[in-house]
Amino acid sequence: DGGITQSPKYLFRKEGQNVTLSCEQNLNHDAMYWYRQDPGQGLRLIYYSQIVNDFQKGDIAEGYSVSREKKESFPLTVTSAQKNPTAFYLCAIGDSNEQLFGPGTRLTVL
């Protein structure tokens, strides 16, 4: 089936640890995005990538890193430098008329 997968669904991390969230797509889209959502709020853009081996910072990139070695994959690493990482993380692919989202990963820092 075509779609966007994110894993894991729930992730718990101790303070000071880096964690990597997975995003995979088989819809052959060039553009991929990472968003963060805090409770009761809309989405904020962390990073985006329009093509393999290229990515750009979004509005809240500090404390995060990404890679885009393959068209299908756009993993997000939440580093220890991110001061308040507990949030819901959504990966998306998109074009001009539509952005499709994955099911999300809920990250909790203990």
Chain residues that interact with other proteins, rule: CB under 8 A? 31, 40-45, 48, 50, 56, 58, 88, 90, 92, 94-101, 103-104, 106
Residue 80 Cβ vs other proteins, minimum distance, rounded to whole Å: 25
Residue 69 Cβ vs other proteins, minimum distance, rounded to whole Å: 19
Torsion sign (Cα): 53, 87, 25, 80: positive
Torsions phi, psi for 62 (to 5 deg): -60, 130
Letter for the amino acid at 42? G
Residue 101 Cβ vs other proteins, minimum distance, rounded to whole Å: 4
Number of Cβ within 10 Å of residue 83's Cβ equals: 8
Q: Which is nearer to other proteins, 16 or 42 (CB)?
A: 42
